[in-house]
Amino acid sequence: MSTGTARPIRHAPDDVDQRLLNALQAGIPLSRRPFAEIGEAVGLDEAEVLRRMQVLKDAAIIRQVSAIFDTRALGYESTLVAASYPDDRLFDAAAVVNGHPGVSHNYRRTHHFNMWFTLAVEPDARMSLEDTLDVLARETGATSMRILPTLMLYKINVQLDMTGEKGTTGRAAPVPPPRRGDGAPPSAEDRAAILVLQEDLPLVPEPFDAWAAESGWNVDDLLAKADELRERTLMRRFAAVLNHRRAGFGANGMAVWKVPADHVDDFGSRMATFTSVSHCYRRPTYDDWPYNLFTMVHARSKDACEETIAALADEAGLGADDYAVLYSTLEFKKVRLRYYSPEYRAWEDIAMAGQPLPTG
């Protein structure tokens, strides 16, 4: 399903790799020599940073180094989707769902709703998000499909603690919910920069110069535009994205909570302070889905994941009947969403013509 073209090498990150990976996840400087600055922060020279990063990429521990954009801030409509399939149809259905270019994450999870994926549709899409899901549900034979958009975002910050210094129940200071753009849609110049910045940064001493030369931008203008997009929070950060399992984080638990409506914002804000929690959202409920608060926990083992989730339950004063934990057992698809891609319109052309949907 989601595989590379070359077999990754075997590599166990040492202590220096772990410190480097933490720094790379926190953010790549938007400067002419970003890897020299990263090296200075972790006690390495630029050449050694690049050498180690190449090994970590060859081992598929680093998936990509690029801008991480806020999809909604760019004008896309997006949602998490829970779907239910008979076991004998699950894999065929996943292939069809994966064929939509707006599906970036798709997992099998331990629940009656056994497929969970994210879907985004472009600002100028001809099919609404609901219409798109109606087509996917019909064509894949879903027995149930629930739309679970973000009603309130308390945290989104996927940074795996490679050194383990923060522990499974480590906390950070409370922060306000992240800002999601400035309300202004991306301009034509913004879009042109996004097309460049969403690519995988080359591992060379002056990577933004290389991008500028290929795309026709002046490098200083490109960096200034990147910094502007970050200031406007259209870009959340420019950073390395890791392959969780290859980085040693084999437990991916989605803890979902039944929280009284008048307490959900308080509980969400408090749960967001746990460093092992990468995502925290309020989402809608249904008759067959009573959970309104979602937390994603990544850990090196199921036991470590359970330790964090138990601490979350204690923090909120919730009992075993008030939550469920859905573990990811198979990754059907995990890619960076590609913005402003002609693949969206091509998929719509096929769907609107009633032709068989592409697979991925």
DSSP-derived 3-state class of residue 168: coil
Q: Is 11 a catalytic residue?
A: no
CA distances from 258 to 265, 295, 314 (A): 12, 12, 14
Distance, in Å, from the CA atom of 187 to the CA atom of 56, rounded to the nearest integer, reads 36
Length in residues, the chain: 360
Straight-line distance from the first to the last Cα atom of the chain, in angstroms, rounded to the nearest whole number: 7
Whether the Cβ atoms of residue 88 and residue 305 lie closer than 8 Å to each other = no
What's 287's DSSP letter? Answer: T
Whole-number Cα distances in Å, 41 to 28, 44, 53: 11, 8, 15
Please, what's the largest Cα pairwise distance for the chain? 58
Q: Is the dihedral of CA 184, 190, 196, 197 positive or negative?
A: negative
- Give the type of residue at 306: E
Which H helix or E strand runs over 16? helix 15-26
Which member of 11, 100, 105, 112 is catalytic?
105
Q: Report helix angle 90-98 to 129-140, nearest 10.
A: 150
Q: Are 233 and 190 in contact (CB under 8 A)?
A: no
Strand partners, 108: 115, 330
Rounded Cα distance, 130 and 132, in Å: 5
* Residue whose C-alpha is closest to residue 315's, from 255, 252, 249, 254: 255
* Residues annotated as catalytic (active site), given as ranges: 105
